[in-house]
Structure 1
Amino acid sequence: MAPTIKDIAKLANVSHTTVSRALNNSPLIKEVTRKKIAEIASQVGYVPNYNAKSLVMQRSYTIGLFFTSIDTGTSSSFFSDTIRGVNRVIDVDYNLFIRGIDDYTDYSSIHRKRFDGIILMSQSEADNKFIYHVVQQGIPIVVLNRQVGDRAIFNIVSNDREGASHAAQYLIESGHREIALIEGVEGFKSTQERRDGFIQALIDHQIPVRHEFMVRGNYDMPSGYEAMSRLLDLSKRPTAVFCSNDDMAIGAMNCVFERGLHVPGDLSIVGFDDSGVSLFTNPSLTTVKRPIEEISEQGARKILSLINTPAQEEGPLFINTELVIRKSVNPPPA
């Protein structure tokens, strides 16, 4: 039979309340007593009962990591980078629950007894209903990737608009004037921010915004392939394409190669995210680095802070993007 708190209390000659407080690092317990109890617990092979602990501490020891959607518009690299960043910080005492908001028909199962805190990797304003349900439940929440209007909700976001503008400017400085855009999922904030940054760069350089050069994608490789196919079928093709994420850029590259063309000799391509594979494409992909792991790490640290010391703090915290120049851009062909 597994040893219990009462067994440790007998061996230490203290009350079971003292043992409980010591094992939970209560400041009410002297350090010498805490060490003695910890040593006895280790010697007898005591394993905490987290269900009982949750009842006593009024915590679930579960942190929710939610995405707008896992199936739609969330690339595998974006998903894995987010989890990697959060998991690097979340203590082993916590369970990490991962789900897409679009899995829910209602939010009745999202409540304080189930979650100590929630990290939301948000892509859409449609997530606001979920956010305010969480707030009404009194659950600490940190929103990543999208700025929300309520300054009492802590945000951590990358400056996607500026990053997209830098990508377009680089293509313009490389001599391109016929520049296309493969957009992301319609309705996603990241799609809008990157489109706005791209268009602003064209306007700043007095380059016409051509409707036929604006093609919708879905943040995945197949949609990048299909979007590039439509661009290559135009009577006057672009000489460069900015893709709103790296997965679509890779799909676009494959389409170019299958048409018997070359990147960057016949057509230059720039991506966004700097996912792990962008360095290993052939040619290596010039892209905008959006530090998803760093954003996710910061989010995890913040939610732990809010769980332990609830407070209303103003945001957002902006994480800068960076243009990473590799080999997928040349001047336009003569």
Structure 2
Amino acid sequence: MVTIKDIARLAGVSHTTVSRALNDSPLINPDTKERIKALAAGLNYSPNFSARSLVLDRSYNIGLFFSTLQTGTSAGFFYEAVRGVNDIIKSQYNLVVRGIDDYKSYESITRKSFDGILVMSQSEADQPFIEHAAAKGIPLIVMNRPVENAQVMNMIPDDRGGAYRIVEYLIEQGHRRIAIIEGKESFKSTQSRREGYFDALKKHGLTVALGYRVQGNYNLESGYTAMNKLLKLPERDRPTAVFCCNDEMALGAIKAIHEKGLKVPGDMSVVGFDAQLFSGYTSPALTTVRRPIEQIGREGAARLLEGIEKKQIAKETIYFHTELVIRDSVQHISGGA
């Protein structure tokens, strides 16, 4: 097995220089770096994270932390976030994925255990974890939720604007009785999407009818259960359209509607949020909002690696656009309803 010391001996440099060159350190001359990389490739060298850690005083671990991996984190959201981060990190670091709520204390979260941390924050309950990591001097980027009182870079999708646009689209299609199936109560995204829903109704002089707000939990089952509650309303009072705060709940809602012998969008229009991969292949294809979670993951990882090398991450807030994706799950109602 080829080691860093073998490459160093053949290249006529120290093993520290080899480690830094293979890690793309800006401290190494570009020509020297390329020569060492070419030599390593020719010898089929595979990085040994433990050895590199000892040489460069790094763990070679990047942490990707979610608020929770138990309830409320949909499979699509998780997959997009991990894929985006992993696309950038690749083999440079070990990617460690955890749920913050799995930790009883944060004593193990130190500079020795993580070279940098990305937090895909969904809840304000993450704040103590974020403040702990920042206080330990770990390069830190918080994605998905705005944070204050912490020296971090913050990357935020425009959930409120996306919800506003999709509800306004329903209104433009003639809908006046629009219900909402909300997400997990403690999640910031739930609050932002609810606010966007109210913003659109208020702009167009509409109010929320009694029973039109139903709590969900960002999973299929909760969407199904919530839709069944809406379907128990007297037929004349039922909504003509339902805004589900994510695509998984929308899929559950559509199942409940079909089981009632009704059609989407013929009897009731349904829209979602997140534009998960399956949403274009449901029957009917789901009108939704594309939230660039994978892009945020890539950008967050790239900025984190840059900050690790520079030993500094700027306190900055970066916003990401959300996009309305119009498909087949909304019916136009002439004259409103």
TM-score normalised to the size of structure 1?
0.92
Root-mean-square deviation (CA, aligned residues, Å) is 2.3
Tell me how far 1:152 sits from its aligned partner: 3.2
Residues 305 and 25 (structure 1), Cα distance of their counterparts in 2 relative to 1, 3 Å cut:
closer
Aligned position for 2:166: 167
Aligned position for 2:118: 119
Distance in 1 separating the partners of 2:162 and 2:46: 49
Aligned position for 1:143: 142
Distance in 2 separating the partners of 1:36 and 1:310: 26
Quick one: which amino acid aligns to residue 105 of structure 1? K
Distance in 1 separating the partners of 2:30 and 2:147: 44
Q: How does 1:8-47 map to 2 (within 5 A)?
A: 8=7, 10-11=9-10, 41=40, 46-47=45-46
Contact 1:217–1:248 (Cα < 8 Å) also in 2: yes
Contact 2:124–2:187 (Cα < 8 Å) also in 1: yes
Quick one: which amino acid aligns to residue 228 of structure 2? S
Residues 265 and 54 (structure 1), Cα distance of their counterparts in 2 relative to 1, 3 Å cut:
same
Aligned residue for 2:161, secondary structure, equals helix
Aligned residue for 1:99, secondary structure, equals strand
Residues 151 and 239 (structure 1), Cα distance of their counterparts in 2 relative to 1, 3 Å cut:
same
Aligned position for 2:306: 305
Q: How does 1:202-217 map to 2 (within 5 A)?
A: 202-217=201-216
Percent of paired sites with the same residue: 54
Q: Once structures 1 and 2 are overlaid, which stretch shifts more, 37-46 or 324-333?
A: 37-46
Q: Once structures 1 and 2 are overlaid, which stretch shifts more, 145-154 or 275-284?
A: 145-154
Aligned position for 1:101: 100
Aligned position for 2:64: 65
Residues 311 and 169 (structure 1), Cα distance of their counterparts in 2 relative to 1, 3 Å cut:
same
Distance in 2 separating the partners of 1:197 and 1:289: 15
Quick one: which amino acid aligns to residue 138 of structure 1? G
Aligned residue for 1:63, secondary structure, equals strand
Aligned position for 1:331: 332
Deviation string for 1:233-252 (max 9, x for gaps)? 01221111000000000100
Residues 165 and 26 (structure 1), Cα distance of their counterparts in 2 relative to 1, 3 Å cut:
closer
Aligned position for 2:263: 262
Tell me how far 1:310 sits from its aligned partner: 2.7
Aligned length: 333
Aligned position for 1:320: 321
Tell me how far 1:58 sits from its aligned partner: 1.2
Contact 2:66–2:119 (Cα < 8 Å) also in 1: yes
Residues 150 and 258 (structure 1), Cα distance of their counterparts in 2 relative to 1, 3 Å cut:
same
Q: Once structures 1 and 2 are overlaid, which stretch shifts more, 305-314 or 86-95?
A: 305-314
Q: Once structures 1 and 2 are overlaid, which stretch shifts more, 152-161 or 179-188?
A: 152-161
Tell me how far 1:172 sits from its aligned partner: 0.9
